[in-house]
Amino acid sequence: MAKNSIDAYGAAGKSNVLMFDPSALKVIDDPTHPLYDERIHLPLDEAMVLNIMALGVREPILVWKDPETGDVLIVDGRQRVAHALDANRRLMARGEPPIQVPGIPQRGTIERMGDIMISMNEARRGDAPLVRARKMAAFMERGYTEDRLAVIFACSEQSVRNTLTLLDCTQAVQSAAEAGQIRMTHVKALAKLDPAEQRTKIQELIAAGEGVKPHERARRQRAVLGESKPRMRTRREVEQELEAAVGERALALRWVLNLELSAEDGAVLDMEAAA
């Protein structure tokens, strides 16, 4: 007697995977909708279309039925659906049967679906900085807090604030961030400058980072923004200072060097205790 799939694979359970005609699925193109994603405007990948024509869609998408309209909305898997539609157009033109798309229905509010959409996108491939910033801003307008955004975007609250700041910067700063020429930590500092200063400073940052390794690039760009970290002194430099130091300064330097206290140091401590 044949085993069922749970027993055959030793699984703990199974989900309800449904099969959909991709043309029956609703793709959101309204930027104000919680399930809108700018990636619907990306061009089709020819290799992906051919792959789907040959093998079908192997990874299930996530769908949610809008109780107000009855539409089945795509929560995750817009690109798979878009490519499946083009694959079906070609298959039917050749007189071959169209493929269907596997989908797992989701339950919950539209707000929860938005959370799932963002989380899935970020886990798979993070958005470009400006796209990410616009998404965060849209969710903030819907009442999301910074800590909630940090959870669904899998980042810190400070990263949320830095990313949103990008929307307040000039096109020059936004373009540099999109191209990976500056870090998001630089954006916060740049946003405090007036537009003309932003454009000047961004050119300095880009020039500072050209042709050098990441560590050196970070150091040079910090210097451009006046954020250079103090150089750590060598042990020899501390030892030289200790030779001329007295009192509390000498005690502190001995502690830094992990040296035993001298008799004179003990006397200093006794005097401080007595005082």
Task: Write the CATH number for 30.
Answer: 3.90.1530
* Per-residue pLDDT at 271: 53
For residue 27, the SS3 value is coil
∠116-73-99 over CA atoms, to 5°? 110
Q: Which of 109, 137, 165 is the last residue of a domain?
A: 109
The answer to whether 114 and 34 have CB atoms below 8 angstroms apart is yes
* Per-residue pLDDT at 274: 52
Phi/psi-derived region of residue 43, left when phi > 0, alpha when psi is between -120 and 50, beta in every other case: beta
The answer to whether residue 193 is domain-embedded is no
Going by the DSSP 8-state scheme, the letter that residue 181 receives in this structure is S
The answer to whether residue 26 is domain-embedded is yes
The answer to whether residue 143 is domain-embedded is no
* Per-residue pLDDT at 3: 60
* Per-residue pLDDT at 137: 93
Q: Which of 63, 80, 109 is the last residue of a domain?
A: 109
The answer to whether residue 187 is domain-embedded is no
How many distinct structural domains can be found in the chain?
2
For residue 147, the SS3 value is helix
The answer to whether residue 264 is domain-embedded is yes
Q: Residue 193 and residue 161: Cα distance in Å, rounded?
A: 17
- Predicted TM-score (pTM) above 0.75: no
Q: Which of 61, 85, 109 is the last residue of a domain?
A: 109
For residue 15, the SS3 value is coil
Residue type, 21: D
Query: What backbone phi and psi angles, to 5 degrees, belong to 105?
Result: -70, 140
User: Would you give per-residue pLDDT tens digits along the chain (275 residues)?
Assistant: 456 667 776 777 777 899 999 999 999 999 889 899 888 888 998 988 998 998 899 999 999 999 999 999 999 999 999 999 999 999 999 999 999 999 999 999 999 999 899 888 776 666 788 888 998 998 899 898 998 888 777 778 888 998 999 999 999 999 998 888 988 888 888 999 999 999 999 999 999 888 888 888 888 888 888 865 555 667 787 778 777 776 777 777 777 777 765 555 555 555 555 55
Q: Residue 184 and residue 170: Cα distance in Å, rounded?
A: 14
Pairing mode, if any, of strands 101-105 and 72-76?
Answer: unpaired
* Per-residue pLDDT at 106: 94
* Per-residue pLDDT at 149: 87
* Per-residue pLDDT at 1: 46
For residue 99, the SS3 value is coil
The answer to whether residue 124 is domain-embedded is no
The answer to whether residue 52 is domain-embedded is yes
Give the structural domain span for 38.
Answer: 13-109
Compute how many other C-beta atoms are within 10 angstroms of the C-beta atom of residue 194: 8
CA dihedral 165, 167, 168, 173 (to 10 degrees): 90
